[in-house]
Amino acid sequence: MAVTWRIESTGSDVNTGEITEAYWEASDYEIVGEGSKQILHRGRLYGTESLEADSSSENFIQWQDVTEENVLNWVKSVLGAEKVTEIETEIARQITESKTPVTNYANPWESTPEPE
């Protein structure tokens, strides 16, 4: 699969329409197994980025005309290519760890014994 980036919401100035912050999520998943034995392994990160907007700029996009793609481009620009790669690598690592866990979060006294 490929990491999917989404904008969950934005914060903007009501008077100018300037979008000043973006709440993003990046996620990916892998399904292993078939039928009733399928297991979903998912990786996910999210964050908030402050955006600099200038409603007097000739490149300013009116609030009602802004697309999710516009905001994703702004967020990735603020993060920078290296950080975007780090985020996507971390999501892949989460999926790998889900498939081959190194930490057990069960209580020993609550685990079900293996049938004989």
pLDDT in tens, 13-29: 999 999 999 999 999 99
pLDDT band for position 116 (50/70/90)? low
CA-closest candidate to residue 40, choices 99, 82, 84: 99
* Residue-wise pLDDT tens digits, 80-115: 999 999 999 999 999 999 998 888 888 888 876 666
Domain edges within the chain: 4-110
* Claim: this prediction has a pTM higher than 0.75: yes
Angle at 48 between CA 47 and CA 52, to 5 degrees: 150
